[in-house]
Structure 1
């Protein structure tokens, strides 16, 4: 039965081919080709379409799709086919249908879907992405519909957002130490600087470590990890850390030591260097982590003693021994009935 249906379908397709007006078909194909040339020559690169390294065809962008619709004189209408909004699990998904019409007559349609489980959204707060996903689904549906006009899928691919993963994968596979060090940060306080330049800053290492764990783009996370491990900084003045360097006092420990030493110095009219020197330490930045930890504990003990002494002094100051409190007070009689308990 199924075999007979296949044979019948093939016969119907052949009948359509045999009955086609070849001259008219040739003219239509030529018209399509001419229109494709017009589209290619009038759309602007990086505005109407983009080119991803490693792909054979340019990628149609939303502004380009809108221009093509204007060239054809078609209008677009959107219909929500599916909506999932799970606020408990933080999952949002939308499926949109875009219908292109001309003078009230339907020409074609396209489908688009987007959800918060997609790779580019997975590390972001899903509750802030609902509207973003809805717009992305509409854009994908619009481009899908536009590409069916005049067989433009021969000229363009679907969506630049869907091809970014390919570009990122290629970038990661070919990334070396030099590439990692030269990667620029495009956001935050170090915007415009390379990772190698950031590593030279006072807070550079901690910032690059944060990038290796929290950056949205995977290539940035990989580059930051490579720079932290010594890649990408070969030409920098900052030498690669040795095992001895790894055991040196941390910047956080130095800050804690200075805070406590400053309290002790103010209480004793000394300077911070003299306080630290009293513990037989000449160069605070050359001590190891364990020595720094021990020093912090000893300074803590000293600060606690100063605090207790200060509290006692303040308590004693509340009372003037030459004039005891309530010396001028007059005694009054209080009956048990006057007590609140």
Structure 2
């Protein structure tokens, strides 16, 4: 009888089997990694640039794309992308991006996913031109807009109205109706970059085990809506501190490519009125103070908008979490 073992049979290993703790990191390694991330956040990252906090939602930090990139730089991580394109009716598209993170040794550390579609309200709709009612903004509006925003909004005529500076005076204007974009292809690249950003943030948080320190920025609008119970049409005219951020149901803000893709041909503003008009076109929430100071509130993840504000001379007001000129 032939007792020889077939060549295609792999013998059972004689050594002890690998367990979950066989390659586990030590407690000191885990503590050192958490400490390093916290130190990078304090000494390298800048609030409003790499992370932010959401009013009314506690002190949990929201990680932005630039912050995720800093974490990857800290640990010398690399990433690989897998992009899937889904064609939707009426020339709409959805991009799904899977981001895989690798250690310097080549070991796969984790995977993140992100998606973005031209059907999202930020990309699907635009706001039509505003209509000047010819009515001067009442003085009571400026008195109540900080202490009682609801009362201030009523003084303008209710929902759909805001204040806009025309020349040297502020007028009540009616916001334009929301209409659907006639060419979804204008936002293809923007949505692709947004899906990549969402996947990158997810992957960075997962791979560095930093979710206890940061949350993910694509949840920002949902959390803001839960905290305030309000929605905001981001294309409205300036004024009206009663406006809150985010389209209803909207989960994303523009990525760095959004500014260049959607308005790269716009002329650089040279006056305050042109700046206000430019902010309106770029869908950046803003208001004008009694002294003429322009305040801007770009989305946390819109690095392009923050760069543009800096170029116009805006300064970051950390106390009030806004940009001022």
- Give 1 or 2: higher strand fraction: 2
- Give 1 or 2: higher helix fraction: 1
Q: TM-score range by the shorter chain?
A: 0.3 to 0.5
TM-score (norm: length of structure 2): 0.46
Higher RCO structure, 1 or 2 (CA under 8 Å, sep 6+): 2
- Flag the structure with larger Rg: 1
